[in-house]
Structure 1
Amino acid sequence: MSIRVLVVEDDKEIRSLIYASLSVEGFTVQTAVSISEASAILKHVLPDVMVLDLGLPDGNGADLVRHVRKQSNLPILIVSARHQETEKIALLDAGADDYLTKPFSVGEMLARIRVALRHRGTNVPAATTEYTLDGLHIDLSTRLVERHGQVLHLTKTEFSLLARLVRSSGKVVTHRQLLVDVWGEEFIDHTHYLRLYMAQLRAKIEDNPTEPRYLLTETGVGYRLAAI
């Protein structure tokens, strides 16, 4: 099961950047644009970590920090354009785990999320996001897939399936895990989806789909992307 992240950010551009960056890393991301929306989500689903802006349309994100901290030990990473040291200290004292000042690098944000999770006993290593082997090149951050220098056009589901295998390249990913991570918990018995999309991927990626070089079958278990 992937790590669930709630991103509370009203700036559309920043929200989209964080969403895309976390998704590439394999996190399951849910977004909210206000304190009220975030609070409604938290009543039904407790994420593994929350990324929170302070300047929200219906109040200060600091109020949400205090509210959450009364109820759970959820890791909270603040992302804000505010630079005042006193405010940073106050938020950390109120229960935030870390404070990242805008503008920030995606790499630093991801590292700080991993640290916050590690402090709660969840070790999340940096995901593999690039893969190159025998003419096949995949870059998840740019959604680029090339074979022998030719750009391949994948559907959203095909890319999601391939990305999941890239993040575990060289290791077997079970049928169940692929179905849950790509389609959702409700699809764990729909193995025909997996067979269909794997066949489509092989037709686009493999030189000879009947004798795959990259997308390997582990009979009765799952699939594996060949080790680099």
Structure 2
Amino acid sequence: MPLKVLIAEDAPEVAEVVAFGVRMTWPGSEVTIAASGKEALLRFAEAPPDLVILDVAMPPPDGFVVLRRIRETSLVPVLMLTVHDATIDKVRALDLGADDYLTKPFDHLELLARLRSIVRRAAGPRHEPGPGFTSGDLSVDFAAREVRLGGEVVRLTTTEYRLLEELVRHAGATVPHRVLLDRVWGPEWQADPNYLKVFVRRLRQKLGDEATQPRYIQTDWGVGYRFTAAR
């Protein structure tokens, strides 16, 4: 299935390699390359893409600012490319709404595997839609992939929604870390539970949940997470 892909990367050789991989993976895809944050925002506004690959360190505004601006209006899947392996940069990218990140220099096969995983998550649910789920003032419409809290729509990225869906479909039961990583991100993520912590924190924030006294998402330390239905 052809995609519209925006690559925001100021290193031409990196951008071209990524573009080649995208075209090989999804033949017929329309790829746009932006060499600065300003150009990336302009191209994004002109033709909203299906997927964004966004470098952090590029001419201003940097990738973090661009991501924040994108998330003001769109839930499009975003993969961040970072030059630093520092945990703080990765956490910042995920906290701002990135669906994934990859540290430079990266293996091209790993990049494509992560992009396929992002696109697969955005394509649709793993489960049959079913009748939906309600717990107190929280409701999840599986068919529409819509979440409401107190009647108001909660804007979730594809990854955030998939994580919440897995938890509410197993409400009352602890879902192990490895199971969540496999079902939401794919088997390649089973060794990276830190990913899960960041997304659970984001979900709690959007659901108005306190980490110390959560109403919905409970932590079973060393095991996994459990969605607790309201009584």
Taking the aligned partners of 1:52 and 1:120, their CA distance within structure 2 comes to 17
Q: Per-residue deviation at 1:87?
A: 1.3
Amino acid at match of 1:35: G
**Where does 1:129-144 land on structure 2 (aligned, <5 Å)?**
none
Amino acid at match of 2:36: S
Taking the aligned partners of 1:51 and 1:7, their CA distance within structure 2 comes to 5
TM-score in terms of structure 1 length: 0.51
For residues 107-146 of structure 1, the C-alpha deviation after alignment (integer angstroms, 9 at most, x for no partner) is 11111111112222259xxxxxxxxxxxxxxxxxxxxxxx
Corresponding residue number in structure 2 for 1:71: 73
**Where does 1:209-224 land on structure 2 (aligned, <5 Å)?**
none
Taking the aligned partners of 2:46 and 2:19, their CA distance within structure 1 comes to 20
Q: Per-residue deviation at 1:58?
A: 1.7
Amino acid at match of 1:4: K
Does 1:54 pair with 2:53?
A: no
Amino acid at match of 1:40: L
Does 1:89 pair with 2:97?
A: no
Taking the aligned partners of 2:43 and 2:94, their CA distance within structure 1 comes to 23
Q: Per-residue deviation at 1:59?
A: 2.7
The SS at the match of 1:15 is helix
CA contact (8 A) 2:83 2:105 kept: yes
Percent identity between the aligned chains? 33
Corresponding residue number in structure 1 for 2:9: 9
Of the three residues 43, 46, 63, the one matched with 2:45 is 43
Structure 2 portions without partners, runs of 5+: 126-231
Structure 1 portions without partners, runs of 5+: 124-228
Corresponding residue number in structure 1 for 2:20: 20
Taking the aligned partners of 1:91 and 1:122, their CA distance within structure 2 comes to 24
CA contact (8 A) 2:38 2:61 kept: no
Amino acid at match of 1:111: A
Taking the aligned partners of 1:49 and 1:7, their CA distance within structure 2 comes to 9
Taking the aligned partners of 1:12 and 1:122, their CA distance within structure 2 comes to 33
Tell me which stretches of 4 or more aligned residues in structure 1 moved more than 4 Å.
none
Q: Per-residue deviation at 1:28?
A: 2.2
Corresponding residue number in structure 1 for 2:113: 111
Corresponding residue number in structure 2 for 1:223: none
The SS at the match of 2:123 is coil
CA contact (8 A) 2:7 2:31 kept: yes
Q: Per-residue deviation at 1:24?
A: 1.8
Taking the aligned partners of 1:24 and 1:114, their CA distance within structure 2 comes to 12
